[in-house]
Amino acid sequence: MNPIFLTIILIPAIEIYLLIKIGSQIGAITTILLIFATAIIGIYYAKYEGLNTLKAGFNQLRRNETPTYEMLSGAAIAFAALLLIIPGFATDLLGFLLIFPLSRKFIFSILFKKFNRVKTDKKNFIDGEYEDIDENDDRKI
């Protein structure tokens, strides 16, 4: 089965299950208030972390370095803010994990290890010799 199709079906099912279980334990109104609270707190913290990431990216550019980690962090923070807006506890948990810098670095290190398994020792240059030839020289190519 297609993993995207399975994800589209599985995530709402998990969210509904968690909402029912947690709602039966703490009550419906408390569950709804908790969902709104996590969304509001998460969005404000995402804004804070996004501005910090933007500042760090500009500092990297000022030092004439490529802000690769900052660009990935910015995308992860935007995705985390989207997950926090979606009502549910599983998406909120994943959103908070992506927002906090320590867990974000841990997740990135796992992903980098997964995608950097195949390493090649190819060189990015061609070794050779050259000789300058004057215009009046008969050895033109």
The pTM of this model reads 0.74
> Is 133 among the domain residues?
no
What is the tally of structural domains in the chain? 1
Q: What is the pLDDT of residue 113?
A: 83
Query: How many C-beta neighbours within 10 Å does residue 88 have?
Result: 21
How far is C-alpha 118 from the chain's CA centre?
A: 21
> Is 5 among the domain residues?
no
Q: Which amino acid is at 90?
A: A
Domain residues for the domain of 107 are: 28-115
Take residue 109 and report the two structure tokens written for it.
């290190």
Q: Which phi and psi (to 5°) does residue 41 adopt?
A: -65, -40
Q: What is the pLDDT of residue 112?
A: 83
Residue found by looking up tokens 């985390």 in the block: 80
Distance CA 124, CA 104 (A): 32
Over the chain (141 residues), the average pLDDT of each successive run of 10 is 86 92 93 92 92 93 91 93 91 92 90 71 69 67 55
> Is 136 among the domain residues?
no
> Is 67 among the domain residues?
yes
> Is 22 among the domain residues?
no
Q: What is the pLDDT of residue 129?
A: 80
Q: What is the pLDDT of residue 8?
A: 87
> Is 64 among the domain residues?
yes
